[in-house]
Amino acid sequence: MNIYLFIISYSLRGKINYINKLNMSSTNFLLILLINIFLADDQYFINIKGTEYQFEFASTEAANQIKAKLPLNVQMTNLNGNEVYYQFLSDSFTTNKKSVGTINMGDIYLYENNYLVLFYKTFQTSYSYTELGKLKNPSGLDELIGSNNVEVQWYIKNPEKEADTTSSSSEEKEENNPKDSYDSLDPTQKATYPDDLTDDVHKFSIHGNIKLNYLVWLFFALIIC
> Both 94 and 139 in a single domain?
yes
CB 115 within 8 A of CB 86: yes
CB 133 within 8 A of CB 63: yes
Q: Which uninterrupted H or E stretch holds 213?
A: helix 210-224
pLDDT given at position 158: 81
Whether residue 10 is predicted with pLDDT greater than 80 in this model: the reply is no
Q: 23 or 103: which carries more pLDDT confidence?
A: 103
Domains of the chain: total = 2
Of all residues in the chain, what percent carry a pLDDT higher than 70? 52
pLDDT given at position 219: 63
- Residue 84 CB burial class (10 angstroms; 0-12, 13-18, ≥19): buried
> Both 93 and 53 in a single domain?
yes
Give Dmax (Cα) for the chain. 82
For residue 199, the enclosing domain spans: 3-41+159-224
> Both 95 and 198 in a single domain?
no
Select from 111, 131, 157 the last residue of a domain.
157
Whether residue 85 is predicted with pLDDT greater than 90 in this model: the reply is yes
* Total-model pTM: 0.59
Q: Please, which pLDDT band fits residue 200 given cuts at 50, 70 and 90?
A: very low
pLDDT given at position 209: 44
Whether residue 144 is predicted with pLDDT greater than 80 in this model: the reply is yes
> Both 63 and 79 in a single domain?
yes
pLDDT given at position 141: 97
CB 17 within 8 A of CB 159: no
Average pLDDT over residues 100-122: 97
CB 85 within 8 A of CB 115: yes
